[in-house]
Amino acid sequence: MAVKPASEHAHWSSRWAFIMAAVGSAVGLGNIWKFPYEANSGGGGAFVLIYLGFVFLIGVPLLVAELSLGRRGQLSPIRSMEKVAKEEGRRTAWSLIGWSGVIGSFIVISYYSVVGGWTLSYMIQTVLGNLQGITGEEAVAGFDALVTNPWMPLVWHGLFMGITVGIVLRGIEGGLEKAVTLLMPALFILLIGMVIYAGVTGDFAAAVSFLFQPDWSKLDADVILSALGQSFFSLSLAQGSIMVYGSYLTRQVKVGKAAVTIAAADSGVALLAGLAIFPIVFAYGLTPGKEEGLVFQTLPIAFGQMTGGVVIGTLFFGLLTVAAITSAISLLEPSVSYLAETDKFGRKKAAFIMGGAAFAFGSFSSLGYGILSDVTIFGQSIIGFKTYLTNNLMMPMAGLFTALFVGWFVSRKAMMDELAMEEPWFRVWYFLVRFICPTAIAVIFYHVVIGF
Ligand code: TRP
């Protein structure tokens, strides 16, 4: 299989398009569905503070590293890593970072699309007014009925994957860019609207103190690892998404500034999502669920009771769906780009093959709450196992090796040249990526996975 030359590799048509795509990748179910309940079980403010620390001290330097590796390679993550390693006179085994990214993003999209399917289904349910006046028990039962149904979850999963494939097969300028430049501004407007609504009608003060007042007693190694995992997941790090988006960058874009913008937008959205959700939850006297149910079981009760709940509920689930789709395309892109850059597959064929494979692989997750609920892998549910494997093992590992590679195996001069950062920022970044990122990841990883 011959590989098309890097000169044929696509590029973003503008810096704005790239920023929207990267923010679109970062902002997803992780921010709106996961962050609020992770924050809740991690002790509110304590989790949030640690999370923000990870985002800026570890996440941003790694974003910079991944974006610049992709841009330097101008190929899909696997081949970019191989190329940069060769240029630097290093072993091509470093391309394993690329492999881990491509395989990891494939695993994530296979279950991400399942949850994406649930959001689609909830959006339709709210539009139809089916959530009107539901009680707490009905909300719980409604969610259970959806996820345990023997075939419905598959339909929604397939529909969500179909939308994702439909965008990815149209390519960078024609597909990804068009989608994100339309959807991301819409998402921001919806979110701000939701926060204002929650601020006016909900218990804003309770939400603020819940999110920002640290309860340090809840803090333990597990919470710290989950804050690290959440920051990686939310920034789309160490799974190929950011590297592949970096490969579509032109030399003009300043990677450092872009990384800070992406991280700020991503954590801003996570916090705003908390400020949109918790005031409503508290105002209706509900207890925020610690698990997945927060968005799918608790919020619908509030939407079902409030005046205008059909509109607000539809907007909310619309927002969640949009966020999920712009992330899903970045999860499919790493593997699609790998196939599409060979002369054997066009982009269309590659998108169908990978999307189809991810759908099939994800169908086990899709049914994992229903007919396959007895299936466990190492004592975990199918989605639980995939999440553990990617978030707790593959992402920290790939992040660790990315930092080591860029910090110790690529020449300082090459990085300076690639980043074109002003001093002292280059030195700050270099220090973080050489010393702080690898140490912090290794320590946390050791404590949680290997034990004390
Ligand atoms: N960041 C997205 C979210 O918060 C999900 C996502 C997209 C992702 N690409 C990724 C997670 C790559 C890990 C790795 O929902």
DSSP 218: G
Backbone angles phi, psi at 380, to 5 degrees: -120, 160
pLDDT tens digits along 377-399: 777 777 778 888 888 788 989 99
Average pLDDT of the residues in 246-255: 94
Whole-number Å distance between alpha carbons of 11 and 29: 27
Q: 119 C-alpha to center of ligand 1: Å?
A: 16
Rounded average pLDDT over 314-329: 93
Q: List the beta bridge partners of residue 380.
A: 377
DSSP state of 32: I
Provide the whole-model pTM.
0.93
Distance 203 CA to ligand 1 centre (A): 30
Both structure tokens of 336: 């699609």
Domains of the chain: 6-449 (1.20.1740.10)
* Ligand 1 mean position, distance from CA 53 (Å): 19
Mean pLDDT of 296-309: 85
Q: Shortest CA distance to 329 belongs to which of 306, 354, 303, 362?
A: 354
Ligand 1 pocket check: which of 97, 105, 167, 233 to mutate, most ligand atoms within 8 Å of Cβ? 233
Task: With beta carbons less than 8 A apart as the criterion, state whether 173 and 165 touch.
Answer: no
Do residues 274 and 207 make contact, with C-beta atoms less than 8 angstroms apart?
A: yes
14-18, 333-337, 420-424: least confidently modelled range: 420-424
Distance 42 CA to ligand 1 centre (A): 20
- Please give the Cα distance from 65 to 59 (Å, whole number): 10
Mean pLDDT calculated for residue range 180-197:
91
Distances (CA, A) of 200 to 33, 176, 406: 22, 36, 48
Strands (E), 124-267: none
Give the residue, out of 232, 241, 295, with the most ligand 1 atoms within 8 A of its beta carbon, to mutate for a pocket test.
241
pLDDT given at position 4: 84
Closest Cα to residue 72, out of 406, 407, 422, 425?
406
CA gap 331, 314 in Å, rounded: 25
User: Which residue has a Cα nearest atom 10 of ligand 1?
Assistant: 236
Q: Is pLDDT of 272 > 90?
A: yes
Q: For residue 231, which of 399, 408, 438, 448 has the smallest C-alpha distance? A: 399
pLDDT tens track for 108-157 = 999 999 999 999 999 999 999 888 888 888 888 888 889 888 899 999 99
Sorting pLDDT into bands at 50, 70 and 90, what band is 306?
confident
35 alpha carbon – ligand 1 mean position (Å): 12
Q: Which atom of ligand 1 is nearest to the CA of 104?
A: 14
Residue from 119, 234, 391 to probe ligand 1 pocket by mutation (most atoms less than 8 Å from CB): 234
CA distance readout (Å), 306 to 193, 274, 281, 311, 346: 16, 19, 12, 10, 50
Ligand 1 atom closest to the Cα of residue 330 is 9
The pLDDT score that the predictor gives to residue 289 is 63
Residues 281, 299 contacting (CB under 8 angstroms): yes
Q: Give the mutation target among 34, 191, 239, 245 for probing the ligand 1 site: most ligand atoms within 8 A of CB.
A: 239
| Residue whose CA lies nearest to ligand 1 atom number 9 | 236
Q: Which residues line ligand 1 (CB under 6 A)?
A: 25-26, 28-31, 105, 108, 233-234, 236, 239, 241, 327, 330-331
Per-residue pLDDT, 302: 84
